[in-house]
Amino acid sequence: MGEATAAAVPQEGAEASASLADQLRRQGAQTALRFLTCGSVDDGKSTLIGRLLYDAKLVFEDQLAALAADSKTQGTQGGDLDFALLVDGLAAEREQGITIDVAYRYFTTDRRKFVVADAPGHEQYTRNMATGASNSELAVILVDARKGVLTQTRRHSYIAALFGIRHFVLAVNKMDLVGYDQAVFADIERSYRSFAAQLGGLDIVAIPISALRGDNVARASEAMPWHQGPALLPHLEAVAVEGGEGLGAFRMPVQWVNRPNADFRGFSGTVVSGLVRPGDALVALPSGRASRVERIHTFDGELPAAGPGQAVTLTLADAIDVSRGDVLCAAERPAQLSDQLAVHLLWMSEDALIPGRQYRLKCAARTVNCVVTELKHAVNVNTLEAHAAKKLELNGVGVANISLNERLVFEPFGQSPALGGFILIDRRSNATVGVGVFDFSLRRADNVVWQALTVDKAHRASLKHQRPCVIWLTGLSGSGKSTIANLLESRLHDLHRHTYTLDGDNVRHGLTRDLGFTETDRVENVRRIGETAKLMVDAGLIVIVAFISPYRSERRMVRRLLEEGEFIEAFVHTPLAVCEARDPKGLYRKARAGEITNFTGIDAEYQSPENPELTLDTVALTAEQSVEKILDHLRSAGVLQP
C-alpha cells in the first residue's frame, strides 16, 4: 500500500516507538461520530466525502493514482479529479452516476474518529437512506445552491429526525456555480430553517461549501469571507452529541440462552442502556419473573459492571425461565409491555401498506405477528401536514395503530432506539416492507383483558355432534359460490347440523355496508368476515362463507385466525369467460362498459388459491355434485360426527 499524502518524516529507534505509542494512546481516547450525508440526486454527497478524505490527507498515493486514472475514463469533471469515485464503489452507481446503496466509510483525524454513511439521493432508494439514519448521530443535508430546498431534502430531513437525529448540518453545495453569492445561501438557509422548525428541537448549523473546489470543507474558504461560521470538518470534529443510549435504566434483550453444559445457564446479549452489576435486581419481560445478577461473564473473564454496547452473558441467582427475545430490565424501572401501539411508519415496498393485512414485526430479538389496524393519516413531507389516506405507498410516511398477537417489550423511540424501533416483514417473502418507531401504548391495551369462560368451543360443539369449521368458498363473481353455499346449508340442515351462511352480498347490507370495492376496502371486508366466522366457530357452528375474497394474503389471514383443520378453502373454479357468459346480475356488462370500477376479473385482480382443500370445477360438475364433494370431505375430516 502506498504512503498517505501527508505522511510524516520517518523517525527512528526509541523516538519512533514513543511517537507511535503516543499516537495510539491519542486515538484510543478519541470520541467517535457517526454521521449521515443525504440529499437529492446530484447534490454532491459522494464528492463531499471524497473531498473530506482528500483534504484530511487520508488518501494513499496509490489510491490517488487510481483516482486520477478513473477520473479520466469514468469521471464527470472533464479529466480533473472526480472525488465521488472514491466513494461510489458499486458498478451500477458509477454507470448511473448516483448512489444506490448506503456506503459506509471510516476515517480518523487528529481530533476524532468518524463513521460516515453516504445515503442514496434518489427517491427510489429512500429505504436505504433510512437504514443509514437509524445508525447515525448527525445528518449532513446537502442542497444544490442552484436548486434550493427540494422534496427529497425535506423527506430526508423528516426521516432523519424521525429516527432520532437531532444534530443537522445544512451544507449548501456548489456555491462556486452561483458565484459564491451570499444572498443565495441566505435564502436557502431561511427556507430550510422554516421547514425544519416543524420537526422540533433540532440543532442546525448552515455552511456554504463547494465540495468539488474544497471551499469550507476542511478549512475556511477565501472565496466566502462573509461566512463567519466553521468549515465542515472542524465542525464535525468539535460537535458534541449526546450518548442517549447510555442513559436510563438497565435493558438487555436476550439474544441467546447460553448452555454449554448442565452446570451453566447464562443469558447472552448486548446492553442497550443503563448499567448492571452483580447483586442487581432484574425482571425478565414479558414473563415478569424476577431474580438477581450473580455474575457478569465475557470472553475475557468476569466484569464488576457492564454498560451500553457491551456484549455479556449474565448468570442469575434463580432458575427462572428466560428465552431468546425476552428483555432483562432493572427491577425498579422495567420497560413497558403492550400489544396495541401507536407508531410512525416509513413504507419501503412497492406493494402498498393496507390496514388489516398481516405482517411480522421485529423489535430487538423478538419477532411477533401484527396487523396495522388503522392508518390514522399520511404525512406530506413538503409541508408536514397530515392528510387522510387508506393506504401507504412506497416511501410514504404515516401515523398508524398496530395490534400484536402477543405483548411486546418496548419503549418510545425517544427513550430507547433499541427497544423503540422496529421493522415490518412480509409473511410470505420475508422481505422487509416497512420500518418504524413506537410512539406510545394505546390506553385500550391496558383496559381490555381476556375473560375466561366456563363453557368453551368444545362444549358447544359436543351438543351439536359436529366439529365446527369454516367452509370458505372463493371464486369469481358468477362462478356459483352462493348457489353452492345455499344448497350445502340445505343439505346440512337436513342432516340436523347447526350452520350459518355468510354471503358476500348479504353482509354488505349491514356488517360491511360502509365499504366499497377498492383493494383497501376488500381487505377490510374479508377481515371483518374472518373475525365474524371465528366467533361462529367458537359457538360450535359449521360456517359457510361465499365471498370472492380475491387476495391470497387475506384468505391466509383468516386461516391463521382458526385452529388447525378448521379452515376449509374451496376454490369454485369457473373460467372468466363462463362467468361472464352467465352474468346473473349484469355486473360484467356494466364493468365492460366502464360503469363499475374495481371489478374482479376485469380491472381488479383475482388470485387463485395455491393449495385449496377442495377445487370445484363448475364446468364439469353441477352444483349438486359440488355439494356432494364438499360433504364427502366433511365426513372424511371428521366434521360430521355420528
Annotated catalytic residues are 549
Give the whole-angstrom CA distance, residue 570 versus residue 573: 9
Confirm if 188 and 149 have CB atoms less than 8 A apart: yes
For 468, phi and psi rounded to 5 degrees? -65, 150
Confirm if 468 and 461 have CB atoms less than 8 A apart: yes
For 549, phi and psi rounded to 5 degrees? 35, 75
For 507, phi and psi rounded to 5 degrees? -70, -20
* Amino acid identity for residue 428 in this structure: R
Chain-centre distance of CA 461, in angstroms? 42
Pairing of strands 499-503, 432-441: unpaired
Positive/negative CA dihedral, 180, 233, 246, 337: positive
Distances, alpha carbon 195 to alpha carbons 140, 150, 202, 242, in Å: 16, 11, 11, 24
Start-to-end C-alpha separation, the chain:
84
Residue 641 C-alpha cell reads as: 360426527
> Which DSSP state fits 176?
G
Does the bond joining 286 to the residue before it have cis omega, within 30 degrees of 0?
yes
The 10 Å Cβ neighbour count of residue 606 is: 17
Where residue 623 falls (left for φ over 0; alpha for ψ -120 to 50; beta otherwise) is alpha
Confirm if 330 and 250 have CB atoms less than 8 A apart: yes
Residue 167: which of 342, 34, 306 has the closest Cα? 34
Give the whole-angstrom CA distance, residue 113 versus residue 24: 13
Residue 366 C-alpha cell reads as: 423478538
Give the whole-angstrom CA distance, residue 206 versus residue 189: 7
